[in-house]
Amino acid sequence: MLKALNLENINKSYGSIQALRDINLTISDGEFFSLLGPSGSGKTTCLKVIAGFEAPDEGSVVIFDQEVTNIPPFKRQVNTVFQDYALFPHMNVRQNVGYSLKVQKLKGPSIEKSIDEILEIVNLTGYDFRKPSELSGGQRQRVALARALVNKPKILLLDEPLGALDLKLREKMQIELKNIQRQFKITFIYVTHDQQEALSMSDRIAVFNDGKIEQVDTPANIYSKPINSFVADFIGTTSIFDKVSAMNLFNLDSAFSVRPENVLIFDKEKDLIGINKNEYFIANGTVIDCQFQGSHLKITFSTDANSKLSAFKSLEGNINQIYDVNSKHLIAWKRSDITILNE
Amino acid sequence: MLFKKGSINKLNQAGLGLRFGAIAGLLFLHIPLLLIILYAFTTEDKSYQFPPPGYTLKWFEVVLNRQDIWNAVGLSMRIAIISTFVAIILGTLAAGALYKKSFFGKSSITILIILPIALPGIITGISLRSTFGVMGIPFSTWTIIIGHATFCMVVVYNNVVARLRRTSPNLIQASMDLGANNLQTFFYVILPNMGTAILAGGMLAFALSFDEVIVTTFTAGQQTTLPIWMFSELIRPRQRPITNVVAVFIMFITFIPIVFASYMASKTSESEGSTK
Amino acid sequence: MNNFLDSFSNFAFRNKNFIFLSFLIIPLLWLGVVYLGSLLIFLGHSFFHLDGFTGQIVYEFSFKTLLELFSSPANIDILIRTVVLAACVTIGSAIIGFPIAYYMAKFTSPKVKIFLFIAIMLPLWSSYLVRVYSWKLILAKEGIINWFFEKLNLEWLLDSILSTPVIGGPSLSISYIGMFLVFTYIWLPFMILPIQASLERVPNSLINASHDLGANKRQTFYKVILPLALPGVIAGSIFTFSLTLGDYIIPYIIGTSKFFIGQAVYTHQGTAGNIPLAAAFSLVPILVMVIYIYCAKRMGAFDAL
């Protein structure tokens, strides 16, 4: 497969703060790739290095087999959708979208045609002569997208593009972005701190923490096979048992995590009859919180070894179920459902 | 229940005393300016009698035919335009260099920019005068311009820095990202965005230069700018009605740029406020 | 050509210091050499002195001139008079300016606010001389104030104000009270704007919280609004205080025959040709302001600028 981007041993620091540590990353052509991590984890700096706004202290950036480490942003066939959109406030929608064509000194009707086409794709036909200040947040977002796409870049970088939108609009734009990516068949590199967004849109995800990449994998693997406790904790809801409590409770010699949907809840000892005790971990739990979450309940238990554990209980059949705080239960999950964590 | 009807609304309304104080203050600021206009039409030419015994337009005609006043107006205009031009270049450059980067000595440079307007004009004036004297530079229009540009720079600087700080730094990155080199970015993005701020700063600089008297007094030699003419009339009033008309003229010529610049300033800060 | 521009752009993009320096160098040379150089040379003269017989400046380092400034009672009179007047003007403009600033910041619609903003900016930027002149018209014996008192049959009141020692005088236009009025009028906008800016930054929720916790309007004003507006008042007072200290035109046109610092500087450098003493006098407002600004900074006044 064609390599769209190759980062080799990228290091970058600002003064005493090391923003990127030994970043190695290869992204294939046409991938929807997410850089996921908490704020300050280095994902935006990584994006800036790819775009050319920041030069790495060490390492090389290769885009489609061309070494671009020292090439300025205006010479890279990479365009960016900025977090605050960075629309030129003095230009209308058409002028904003046509900017990259204008600075290349392109002339003739083909320019107008490309602008029309891209505006139609992002559903902004008819807004041509509005100023950014006269648009809603979602519309500004589309202008930023159209502006970055009109020049048909080889890679599109998106820096938390949906961060400023409300939940409903965000979900709608997620679908549209994915459609646009399929339509243009170009590589998207998407920076986000929202794990839900990364999981639902990406082909692959790189999880950033403290300037390092912790894990690169498909959403399914990131979710089900987190490589360490940071990834496990950051992606979705999970309960982590450290090495000590794992040893005390289950005589297991390493830390592990378990997803709440894999946890079963039993009221009494005799209810356990139906399961094969060799295949399960079983523990005592005391309810400390019970939240209604629509399709299910989220119940938080404290266990004997001072660990906390979350479990989902489907509300199918009986919507009015409730678990009283301080009531005691037995909790169990399959040995095969846990993820062993390397600290 | 214990509240009187409407007392909640009153918490968010200005009390009578406050309104009275605010209105009185505004009247205090503006009545003197209105009086100047009134006096331009008085028929009395020997004293400042109030209310004027009669009204006439003839002083405007007299001023129209006074070549010495027109010469002074022309000189003041020329000085104000050139000083503004120089101040725009210096102030914008300084703003571009200083708005973001922090480095050792930055606050000293900022103070240095503010100093010419913060120090009493007489100190700036005498300093420049003695330097011109020591260097053997003869007093001319250009010595006045050097003085004016020095204290007008800060006005442009302030306006441009304020705008730069409000502008998203991503705009410049976005422009480069979309393929524009430095020059294109400057002409297509930076300049149009800074344009109104530079214009507003320039207009204030013009108003400032046009009616400056103190620094001018020390850097002018034999030249008579309009404020210098006015100042000599203030010390020894010989042509009261003509002074009245000239005062109105100075007021109106600075009126337009000031209103424009303040409108721009308040307008941008308002629209910024509503989007964030 | 295009290639050159591109590679220049590339260079400039990678070498941000280059852009930065090329921007800074011209304004810095102008201010640092032309302005600051002149200023230091002039102020440096305060360490030289005038030869009493020849009337020539003796270019020898000494504290003679500074000693002369602080030992002659006449000079000390001038210094004290100026500082007291500047303090009075500052207090006066704070009292007159506060209600406008408060009203503007908290009780207006955006449209009215723009209007008021312009109404403050207009006198701030419009001709200083014209505004001083307007007070010559107002304070004159035959002017509007006398007319007003006459109409109300209150001439006795005006006369008794004018006959008060120190602040009075033969007429309003030749008295300290007249000077005080003109100075306050001229510098008032410099006081209003910083107060308004600092009040603007007091969130309304804070005022609501105070009401919510049981404070009435008066208590809220004194316990919440006034303390938070104080940095603005101090920032404004820097302007009113320093501008009054150095002015020589208003005392010249409105004042009595008694000198203020500005006039002393003017006279000593001009007719007397005593540049060292003029420089020494100039040092006083600068020193007073440095001390004042240092104290103000410690009270956080600069956040309101």
Share of chain A above pLDDT 90, in %: 35
Residue C110 tokens read as: 């955006």
Domains belonging to chain B, first-starting first, are 70-275 (1.10.3720.10)
Q: What is the mean pLDDT of residues B245-252?
A: 89
Q: Which residues of C touch A75 (CB under 8 A)?
A: 6, 10
CATH number of A3-229: 3.40.50.300
B174 interfaces chain A, CB cutoff of 8 Å: yes
CA C88 – CA B18 distance, rounded (Å): 22
Q: Does residue C18 surpass a pLDDT of 70?
A: yes
Whether residue C78 is found in the same domain as residue C217: yes
A92 interfaces chain B, CB cutoff of 8 Å: no
Q: Which residues of B touch C275 (CB under 8 A)?
A: 126, 130
Chosen from C13, C18, C19 to mutate, greatest number of chain A CBs within 10 A = C13
Whether residue C236 is found in the same domain as residue C92: yes
Which uninterrupted H or E stretch holds A63?
strand A58-63
Q: What is the mean pLDDT of residues B245-272?
A: 78
Domain ranges in chain A are 3-229, 239-340
B65 interfaces chain A, CB cutoff of 8 Å: no
Q: Does residue C100 surpass a pLDDT of 90?
A: yes
Encode pLDDT of A143-192 as tens digits: 999 999 998 899 999 999 888 888 888 888 899 999 999 988 899 999 99
Chosen from A82, A92, A103, A141 to mutate, greatest number of chain B CBs within 10 A = A103
A72 interfaces chain B, CB cutoff of 8 Å: yes
Q: Which residues of C touch A14 (CB under 8 A)?
A: none
Share of chain A above pLDDT 70, in %: 99
CA B65 – CA B72 distance, rounded (Å): 13
| Partners of C130 in beta bridges | none
Chain C: closest CA distance from residue A49 (Å): 13
A133 interfaces chain B, CB cutoff of 8 Å: yes
The whole-chain average pLDDT of chain A stands at 88
Indicate the class that CATH gives domain A239-340. Answer: mainly beta
**Confidence at C53, pLDDT banded by 50, 70, 90:** confident
Whether residue C2 is found in the same domain as residue C123: no
Using CA coordinates, name the residue in chain A closest to B191.
A90
Please answer whether residues C209 and C220 qualify as being in contact, where contact means their C-beta atoms are separated by less than 8 angstroms.
no
Distance of CA C126 to the CA centre of its chain: 16
Q: Which residues of B touch C128 (CB under 8 A)?
A: 211-213
ipTM: 0.83
Contact C246 B119 (CB under 8 A): yes
Whether residue C131 is found in the same domain as residue C247: yes
**Which domain does C7 fall in, by range?**
1-47
Using CA coordinates, name the residue in chain A closest to C15.
A55
Predicted local distance difference test score (pLDDT) of residue A318: 78
Nearest CB to B174; choose among A82, A102, A133: A82
Whether residue C155 is found in the same domain as residue C252: yes
Highest mean pLDDT among A234-243, A308-317, B186-195, C85-94: C85-94
Whether residue C33 is found in the same domain as residue C176: no
Q: Has residue C260 been placed in a domain?
A: yes
Q: Does residue C305 surpass a pLDDT of 80?
A: no
Encode pLDDT of A94-136 as tens digits: 999 999 888 888 878 888 899 999 999 888 888 999 999 889 8
Please answer whether residues B221 and B140 qualify as being in contact, where contact means their C-beta atoms are separated by less than 8 angstroms.
yes
Q: A229: Cβ–Cβ under 8 A, 6 or more apart, which residues?
A: A240, A255, A257, A341, A343
Total Cβ atoms within 10 A of residue C208: 13
Q: Has residue C6 been placed in a domain?
A: yes
Whether residue C35 is found in the same domain as residue C143: no
Q: Does residue C13 surpass a pLDDT of 80?
A: no
- Please tell me which residue, C91 or A2, carries the higher pLDDT value: C91
C9 interfaces chain A, CB cutoff of 8 Å: yes
The CA radius of gyration of chain A, in Å to the nearest whole number, is 24
Encode pLDDT of B85-138 as tens digits: 999 999 998 988 887 777 777 778 888 888 888 788 889 999 998 888 888 889
C255 interfaces chain B, CB cutoff of 8 Å: no
**Confidence at B274, pLDDT banded by 50, 70, 90:** very low
Using CA coordinates, name the residue in chain B closest to A48.
B173
Q: Does residue B150 surpass a pLDDT of 70?
A: yes
Q: Which residues of C touch B247 (CB under 8 A)?
A: 127, 129-130, 133-134
Whether residue C40 is found in the same domain as residue C177: no
Chosen from C42, C130, C196 to mutate, greatest number of chain B CBs within 10 A = C130
Predicted local distance difference test score (pLDDT) of residue C4: 67
Question: Domain count of chain C?
Answer: 2
Encode pLDDT of C110-162 as tens digits: 888 888 888 888 888 888 889 999 998 888 888 888 888 888 888 888 888 88
Chosen from B262, B264, B270, B272 to mutate, greatest number of chain C CBs within 10 A = B262
- Touching subunits of C (3+ CB pairs, under 8 Å) are A, B
Predicted local distance difference test score (pLDDT) of residue B276: 29
Whether residue C72 is found in the same domain as residue C32: no
Read off the DSSP letter of residue A67.
E
Predicted local distance difference test score (pLDDT) of residue B32: 92
CA B21 – CA C100 distance, rounded (Å): 7
Q: Has residue C163 been placed in a domain?
A: yes
Predicted local distance difference test score (pLDDT) of residue A21: 92
Whether residue C74 is found in the same domain as residue C121: yes
Q: Which residues of C touch A70 (CB under 8 A)?
A: 14
Q: Has residue C105 been placed in a domain?
A: yes
Predicted local distance difference test score (pLDDT) of residue B269: 57
pTM here is: 0.79
Burial of A233 (0-12, 13-18, 19+ CB in 10 A): middle
Whether residue C107 is found in the same domain as residue C41: no
Q: What is the mean pLDDT of residues B262-275?
A: 58
Lowest mean pLDDT among A274-283, B62-71, C129-138: A274-283
Q: Does residue A141 surpass a pLDDT of 80?
A: yes
Whether residue C292 is found in the same domain as residue C167: yes
Outline where chain C has alpha helix (H).
2-14, 16-29, 36-44, 64-71, 73-106, 110-125, 128-139, 144-151, 155-163, 176-200, 204-212, 217-220, 226-246, 249-253, 261-269, 275-298
The whole-chain average pLDDT of chain B stands at 84
Nearest CB to B193; choose among A75, A89, A151: A89
Q: What is the CATH number of the domain that holds C127?
A: 1.10.3720.10
Q: B234: Cβ–Cβ under 8 A, 6 or more apart, which residues?
A: B243, C129, C132, C133, C136, C253
Predicted local distance difference test score (pLDDT) of residue C3: 64
Predicted local distance difference test score (pLDDT) of residue C33: 87
Q: Which residues of B touch A152 (CB under 8 A)?
A: none
- Touching subunits of B (3+ CB pairs, under 8 Å) are A, C
Q: Does residue C92 surpass a pLDDT of 90?
A: yes
